[in-house]
Structure 1
């Protein structure tokens, strides 16, 4: 898979913390720590993956190396209806012109028991159309509207659509993040744009408990109602590479946000430690009307 050149937004904040956002699909947020999710626990969670140079025939996909199968994943997603998926705009804008329709889609969506290897082998359903809010700006991934609607070429019938909270403002508790998490913290050399150590995705979907810190005065969420700020409930658990667009889960079965950008700590002249627990999610209650208008359908609200 050929990597798209990355772009990062580093915003200084308190306690030598920075907010980190990226448009590179190889370098999205994933989960460090946590534990493997039980099979079927989050039936709406999907993997958004690369279809470029992926074999069309299943028998050929099965022959690929496991590393290739795992690396095809670049973001998480939330099944809205059997024909529509929600993910983060910064995951998908490198592929689209807002509402472009492709003859040969480069992006697909899969579920397959939350196993990245099986998702690759079974084959992702191609995405035929993408819709992004007008207010979203690729130049600043922390801008409002970090959402993308993905219309599928064929319905994803073997997964259950998500349910959302429309009116509750929070703080939310309990909270869980889910994703196909990286296994350790990562370091970014800002001068070269390089990450270390090598990317190590988890094959199975993972989960970790979080706490809502949106009301804390030192967070961006204290000034923006369209975001939810979280921090780890247990030291060492964190969002990290590959989980952008994935679910923030309230009370085990309601999706209240999707991963937008995460925190990092400066540890050298040009080096930042990422995946430290704090992250920022797009608050979906602010966008229910926009979602339903654009998919021309209703989503589950509880």
Structure 2
């Protein structure tokens, strides 16, 4: 999926207003535990990724769609336990006007057994800075628990002390724009494999705006785009997956050769645990 955002702020609201795209592992209630999909994804790692591909239906069961109450997708998110979803702060989730949809694959289909959940609280990290896009993370508390199963399950959270290996690859997913020249969202869930980029390399593209709360990934022929914001960047360990990043920001034209930015989940692990513990 040639998807991404901009250095301003780009969640795709129903009318595409602002441009900005854009958890130690918590035990989960699903039989296999967090980060282990019942339906295996098909991921190809190669030295050069050319855009993205359709995901295997149900293979990223923690992926959620944030939608208006009229059904318009505007951001992604990740289910971290039966009651909590993590997304990007810049998605500006409003519990009175928005819902969380679980188990979605095709945005165009009305035949899928999705779960539509209202949200009782949206808690944004107190360090969130919309001017710099730093600390771009919000937690959403579902009004009723998610029903876990083959197509809806949780993702493991990166531990607070996580050190990612250099030259590692990760996967990001979402329904964001697949063509920078069109506002149309992807019809079905897309996935793309991206290389993780060091902070020093990233600064060659973005300068001092890069902080320790951000992970840089991509620039190898594929990227995230508007509508992908808030969605997951996951890293495979053994037979499971860990959420290491949240789609945050990037170039306004979804440039596939420029790395994009993801909120570094490990840096917020203690905050996440504290908020979730309060119930």
TM-score range, shorter chain: 0.7 to 0.9
Among 245, 250, 257, the alignment partner of 1:257 is 245
Q: Gapped runs of 5+ residues in structure 1? A: 1-8, 11-18, 55-68, 96-101, 187-196, 265-272
Paired position in structure 2 for 1:245: 230
Whether 1:79 aligns to 2:66 is no
Q: Number of paired residues? A: 231
For the pair shown, the structure with the greater C-alpha radius of gyration is 1
More helix by share: 1
Q: CA deviation at 1:287?
A: 0.4
Among 220, 226, 249, the alignment partner of 2:213 is 226
Paired position in structure 1 for 2:43: none
* Bigger relative CO (Cα 8 Å, ≥ 6 apart): 2
- Does the 8 A contact of 1:239 with 1:275 survive in 2? no
Distance 1:120 1:132 in 2: 33
Q: How does 1:286-301 map to 2 (within 5 A)?
A: 286-296=267-277
Q: CA deviation at 1:137?
A: 2.8
Among 99, 122, 139, the alignment partner of 1:149 is 139
In the superposition, the TM-score normalised over structure 1's length comes to 0.68
Paired position in structure 2 for 1:169: 163
In the superposition, the TM-score normalised over structure 2's length comes to 0.73
- Does the 8 A contact of 2:53 with 2:191 survive in 1? yes
More strand by share: 1
Change (3 A) 1:220 1:296: farther
Q: How does 1:1-302 map to 2 (within 5 A)?
A: 19-22=7-10, 25=13, 26=16, 29=21, 33-51=51-69, 54=70, 69=71, 72-92=72-92, 95=94, 105-118=96-109, 122=114, 124-138=116-130, 140=131, 142-158=132-148, 159-166=152-159, 167-170=161-164, 171=166, 173-186=168-181, 197=182, 199-215=183-199, 216=201, 217-220=203-206, 224-233=211-220, 235=221, 237-251=222-236, 253-264=241-252, 273-277=253-257, 278-296=259-277
